[in-house]
Structure 1
Amino acid sequence: MWIKAGLLPLFITYIIGLVLMVMPMPLFLEAWRPDWLSLVIIYWLMALPHRVGMGTVLILGLMTDILMGSIFGIYASALLVMAYAPIRHFQRFRNYSLTQQALVVAVLIFIKRVLVYQLEHWLNDAVFHVSYLYPVISSAIAWPWVYLILRKYRRHYGIQ
């Protein structure tokens, strides 16, 4: 039932995005880790806006809060703000070239990272380092591959 409805393949991509967020990396690459879950969320919001919405983003954000050990709601609220534009303008976003989409993705992830930092700063006195914004660049670079892989995955499983 889950496979026919396309829920299991979607769920698997969310789990992969969450795992990639915490998977160990070499220390010199750690600061450049792309924001995998945000990339997955942006893709599904753009590809299936009628199936993936704010409720899904909220649940994934709360799961991220638990996974990252942050105060409950920080990542959830930042992901909700980030997700508004792809939900609202999915038709326009679909028609952009991959380069234009990568730039939009960079802006969206920048907004998310700034919101997470601001909330962490207000609640936990977090200190800002420029390296905190490196994932904006690496996510924009990773976007074309994420887009193409997830599109092939969606077509393979017939997720609609």
Structure 2
Amino acid sequence: MEKSHRLYLVYLSLMFSLVLAVVPLPAMVKLFRPDWPLLVLFYWALALPFRVSIGTAFVVGFLLDVLVGTVLGVNALAYSIIIYFCSAHHLKIRNFSILQQSLVIALFLAFYHYFIFWLSHFLTGVVFTMAYLWPVVTGAAVWPWIFWLLRRIRRQFKIH
């Protein structure tokens, strides 16, 4: 497989994560849905920081804005900021154990949700509830499996 074709697998995984983000779920389950696109972006920003970085995060965030129907640019801005810090510290984060990475990811996810709440509160006047933080818990919980799956794909298809 050519090198350029291998990068399509990265973009395919990001598209699949966008589909997972908009799949209809029951109301109770929807509260616990992890931020699939952000988690997949985290992995690729840690694994390939010079190929998947702020620009990719902006495009994925913008596509999520369009798919979900939020104010355009909110997720794009938040994803760009989060992935910037992730890419800037990718060497440190990669050396952490998977449990430590889950905690770091939880901090990034908490910042993301607080930032989204803050922008939403500024733009539309929403009120903060603890339900905003459930995806932080589930995102940190599924991080080891996402890491394992995407790492396996990256190594099997020699994506670099």
TM range (shorter): over 0.9
TM-score, normalised with respect to structure 1: 0.95
- Please tell me the residue identity of whatever aligns with 1:68: V
1:87-122 CA distances to partner (integer Å, 9 max, x unpaired)? 001111111000000000000011111111111111
Do the aligned residues in 1 keep the contact of 2:78 with 2:112 (CA within 8 Å)? yes
Distance in 2 of aligned mates of 1:96 and 1:47: 13
Deviations 1:61-98 (A, max 9, x none): 11111111011110011111111221001111111000
**Identity level (%):** 37
Q: How does 1:105-144 map to 2 (within 5 A)?
A: 105-144=105-144
Contact 2:64 2:75 in 1 (8 A): yes
**SS of aligned partner of 2:159:** coil
Q: Secondary structure at the match of 1:51?
A: coil
How far residue 25 of structure 1 moved from its aligned partner, in angstroms, is 2.1
Deviation at 1:157, TM superposition (A): 1.3
- In the comparison of the two structures, how many residue pairs are matched? 159
Q: Distance in 2 between matches of 1:44 and 1:97?
A: 17
- Matched letter for residue 7 of structure 1: L
Q: Secondary structure at the match of 1:127?
A: coil
- Provide the rounded CA distance (Å) in 2 between the counterparts of 1:62 and 1:27: 24
1:128 & 1:9 partners in 2: Cα distance? 37
Question: Mind listing any 5+ residue stretches in structure 1 that lack a counterpart?
Answer: none
> Following superposition of structure 1 onto structure 2, how do residues 1-160 of structure 1 map, counting pairs within 5 Å?
4-5=3-4, 6-160=6-160
> Aligned with 2:128: secondary structure?
coil
2:108 and 2:84 map into 1 onto residues whose CA distance is: 10
Partner Cα distance (1:71, 1:88) in 2: 27
Structure 2, unpaired ranges of 5+: none
TM-score (norm 2): 0.95
Query: Which secondary structure does the structure 2 equivalent of 1:46 belong to?
Result: helix
CA distance in structure 2 between the partners assigned to 1:26 and 1:122 by the alignment: 28
* Structure-1 separation of matches of 2:11 and 2:80: 18
Q: In the TM superposition, what is the alpha-carbon distance from 1:158 to its structure 2 partner?
A: 1.1
Tell me the CA shift for residue 132 of structure 1: 1.1
Aligned-pair distance for 1:26?
3.0
1:136 Cα shift?
A: 0.2
